[in-house]
Amino acid sequence: MRDCILHNPRCSKSREALKLLQDRGVDLPVIEYLQHPLKAAELRDICKLLGKKPLEIVRTKEALFSELGLSADNGYSDAQWIAVLAEHPKLLERPIVVRNGKAAVGRPPEAVLALL
């Protein structure tokens, strides 16, 4: 996965993380992942860089999660959660910053500063 910020401009945490990076002179490509959903392979790469299981980057409190009848303890495999994220990018935790072969979820936004 190339260096970038996976960004949702409607999300205050995502906007804050982007501003923190820009204020420090870090200019990363911005990918609005709702407009340009990630492929399964990219999601797997992000999980690997984060050191997290796919379920750990699913927004389980998002209304869509329950609307789809999903549950964190439904026994889905990592591949199944990746498929859910690929099909429903709104469920992806945000923002996620990838830089120099590492990644961080910007919750709180200051967490992305660990990549600098």
Residues involved in catalysis? 11
CA distance 72 to 76: 8
Among candidates 94, 90, 98, which has minimal Cα distance to 115? 98
Residues in the chain: 116
β 4-7/30-32 pair status:
parallel
Distance of CA 50 to the CA centre of its chain: 10
Closest CA to 13 of 116, 100, 114, 111: 111
